[in-house]
Structure 1
């Protein structure tokens, strides 16, 4: 008889009520709590202020492959976006932790988890614009959402020559020029077209979903 694998969950909260809810849900579903965030498949962290957002970033750096869920009772869209950019895969209501864990167990049984995505900006806010639409600082680097003649692309800065920011780079005729030392890169591919940089920029896949542009940051 085949036995289903249990989902390892790290609960990073000191809230006794929340912890009891998670423990109860774990007993009722195919989940198991672990005190080690490095080995967990799911990271469940509270979100109420910027200190929690910083904790999310720290735990994400420890375990970049886990599904990180921030739970909150705070209705603050800016804080939510900040948490997503810090590494949260999604934001959930703290009042539904039991239901959430049961759903997670079913999701893990059904197959691979969703790719990790980082929000860049709202589609409506940049409609009709060209050039650098958004620049988001992330653990990966500068996530530069750029639009030329085709669909938006995401290139990862800073400049590989001397780590200069590309947030204010000049874009002309499909080429981005570093404002510090003049290195140039093709905006559609990130390929280096002129030094002193000796390599190009990494390109990440852009997804349009829920009225936002997202970048696929990790598998």
Structure 2
């Protein structure tokens, strides 16, 4: 006669409990959520209580980047160190933007006057019209930056 040990009884009961839990969790093909409506079937869309809300929701306005300045603040040119950009106005209402880093040795440009952007480190000067070198030692123009001007505000594009 074989004796049933306490360990065997406990393992058997644990296995039976595990089988009961697993079978209770099985879905046997029953979906837990409604299937997505077929956009080609108008009846599917009509049954969706959220379909009208989605269609009626207003389009969100694209948030514009923060303005660097008002156009009235630029004068001949203005340097924005935090954004590494210099905005110039070669003629009334014509705005341009360039990197504020000198192409000679990477110094920050310091001023805009008399039609040029001035670098204090070695005396390089750049045109406010196109960023080209007016006076060396820099040999490369300032990199152009894209800006947008709308409603009197200048923004990086």
Q: Tell me which residue corresponds to 1:122.
A: 70
Q: Tell me which residue corresponds to 1:143.
A: 85
> Within 2, Cα distance between the matches of 1:160 and 1:133?
18
Shift of 1:117: 5.3
142, 146, 151: which one pairs with 1:201?
Answer: 142
Structure 1 residue ranges, 4+ long, deviating more than 6 angstroms after superposition:
none
Say whether 1:153 aligns with 2:96: yes
Structure exhibiting the larger radius of gyration computed from Cα positions: 2
What CA RMSD, in Å, does the superposition of the two structures yield over aligned residues?
3.3
- Of the two structures, which has the highest relative contact order with CA contacts closer than 8 Å and spacing of 6 or more? 2
- Number of positions where the alignment pairs a residue of Structure 1 with one of Structure 2: 102
Q: Can you give the 5+ residue segments of structure 1 that lack an aligned partner in the other structure?
A: 1-26, 28-97, 108-113
1:8-28 per-residue CA deviation (whole Å, 9 max, x = no partner) reads xxxxxxxxxxxxxxxxxxx9x
Q: Tell me which residue corresponds to 2:111.
A: 169
CA 1:133–1:184: 2 relative to 1, 3 Å: closer
More strand by share: 1
1:171-219 per-residue CA deviation (whole Å, 9 max, x = no partner) reads 21x2222122111111110111221112110122332224311122xxx
Task: Give TM-score, length-normalised by structure 1.
Answer: 0.39
Q: Can you give the 5+ residue segments of structure 2 that lack an aligned partner in the other structure?
A: 1-35, 37-53
Task: Give TM-score, length-normalised by structure 2.
Answer: 0.52
